[in-house]
Structure 1
Amino acid sequence: MNTNSYLHRRTAMYTQIKMSADVEQNLDGVKVYGLHLQLTPKEDGSNADYKPEWEQIHAAWRGKSKAEVAAVPIMAAYQSFYQQIGLNPKKYPPSVQNLIQRFFIKEELDRLPLIHPIVDAVNVAALQHLIPLGVFDAECVSGDIHLTFTRGGEAFQGLGEAEPEALPEGLLVLADEEKVLSRFCYRDSEVQKVTDATRQVWLLGCQVPGVDESAVKESLSAGLELIGRAYQCDLGPIHAG
């Protein structure tokens, strides 16, 4: 199978995101599942409140040390994945671990990681299930999306960056047919960020060795349900390749 050959299948409502041959070979046991959603704002749901969920998450982790959070088996599974893709999990903890350590182990829940109602809903679901989830504006996508390694020189403008940078070879990225969408599980791009104008999203969850497929799909379903407080959600077309 050459580098332009991918596996793709859809189980029920979930799409399995394609991977290049070298990603499949080097990251055995890693799979990414997604939901492509069409969103229509609800008149009575524009102020979706996740306060009870934030408080429940805080109650579960309040008073824990960073070391105790990092030692949870599911956290350790994603730490191993980070090491596989060349990231130092002590310097760059996986997203769920990072959110818990930054916001939810304090005695007082004095600050929340609020970004946008869609992103907030997805973060709540990720924290409830301890599965890293990502969401991005699907209308920025040109053609199919897939996971691949950079060949070197691809342009990428990370969130908050004023200008694109050229990426080195060998980074794991989510890309479409024209551009890099994210440094996978590490940093999203400006081009695909969720805004108030967003009406289509890809909601993604990553399975790694030591984590059951069912756990990833349950977390995606939870994200869908939470987004549904503010939006009517309809499944979009299969367009991941």
Structure 2
Amino acid sequence: MYSVITMSPKVEQDLQGVKVFGVHLELTPKKLESLVDYQSEWDEIHATWRGKSKAEVAAEAMMAAYQQFYQHIGINPKKYPPSVQNLIQRFFIKEELPRLPLIHPIVDAVNVAALQHLIPLGIFDAECVTGDIHLTITEGGEAFQGLGEAEPEALPEGLLVLSDEVKTLSRFCYRDSEVQKVTDSTHEVWLLGCQVPGVTEEQVIESLNAALSLLKRGYETHLITVD
């Protein structure tokens, strides 16, 4: 069911042992009397990490694997921790679980699965995509409007990005773009999971399956076949 996202020859050469698995889905909201709630899952995640130090979180084997990946692609993991590590350190090690920055039920479901399995997952609006998606390295000058930014900026050379046939969709594993953010108008999504050295394909697939299961609480999901 999951496809492996294409990499440019340079990315494939530079990122040996890295694979990105994805699935293209159509989501149809179910008619529910109340909004889907993930509070019990947040509480369970909090119970796992409550009272731990940031150093203890960072030292976990899964966290360390993605830290090494960040270093390899030129991101300082101490300044910019991988997404799962960052969420745990910001919210889930505290004695009392603070108010979480809930984004959208689709994104929240994926964040729960990522935190449960310690695998960074991503989800974005697929209707913004022109043609195929792939991982590539910037040549310099590509326009990119980061999430929350008012205007696009020109990216420097040498960054790992997820792109379609005409535009940059994200700085991969680091920052999403305005163009592909999930909104209430989102009907199709790409769900992605990244395997790095030290993490097995089975672990990534298990986390993606968990995200799908959580999405199905609020949405009918239909697989869109990639030609």
Report the TM-score range of the alignment, normalised by the length of the smaller protein.
over 0.9
Shift >4 Å, 4+ stretches? none
Tell me the TM-score normalised to structure 2 length: 0.99
Aligned with 1:49: secondary structure?
coil
Q: Which moved further from structure 2: 200-209 or 107-116?
A: 107-116
| C-alpha distance in 1 between matches for 2:123 and 2:139 | 25
Aligned counterpart, 1:171: 159
- Deviation digits for residues 128-185 of structure 1 (CA, Å, limit 9, x no counterpart): 0000000000000000000000000000000000000000000000000000000000
Give the conservation status (yes or no) of the 8 Å contact 1:146–1:176.
Answer: yes
Paired residue for 1:119?
A: 107
Structure 1 length-normalised TM: 0.93
Letter in 1 for 2:55: A
Match of 2:82 among 94, 116, 123: 94
User: For structure 1, which runs of at least 5 residues remain unmatched after alignment?
Assistant: 1-12
User: Please, which of 6, 9, 32 is the counterpart of residue 44 of structure 1?
Assistant: 32
Cα distance in 1, alignment partners of residues 33 and 8 from structure 2 = 39
Gaps of 5+ in 2: none
Summarize deviations over 1:45-95 as a string: whole Å, max 9, x none: 761110000000000000000000000001000000000000000000000
State the SS of the aligned residue for 1:196.
coil
Tell me the CA shift for residue 113 of structure 1: 2.9
Give the match for residue 129 of structure 2.
141
Judge conservation of contact 1:103–1:113 (CA < 8 Å) in 2.
no
Per the alignment, residue 18 of structure 2 pairs with: 30
- Partner amino acid, structure 2, of 1:130: L
The AA in structure 2 aligned to 1:213 is: E
How many aligned positions are there? 227
Structure 1 residues 208-223: aligned runs within 5 Å: 208-223=196-211
Selected match of 2:69 from 78, 81, 84: 81
- Code of the residue aligned with 1:62 in structure 2: it is R
- The equivalent residue for 1:129 is 117
> Equivalent pairs: percent with the same residue?
76
Determine the C-alpha separation between the residues in 2 that align with 1:145 and 1:160: 22
How far 1:112 moved relative to its partner?
1.1
Distance 1:155 1:234 in 2: 32
8 A Cα contact 1:75 1:130, kept in partner: yes
Q: For residue 67 of structure 1, what is the aligned residue in structure 2? A: 55
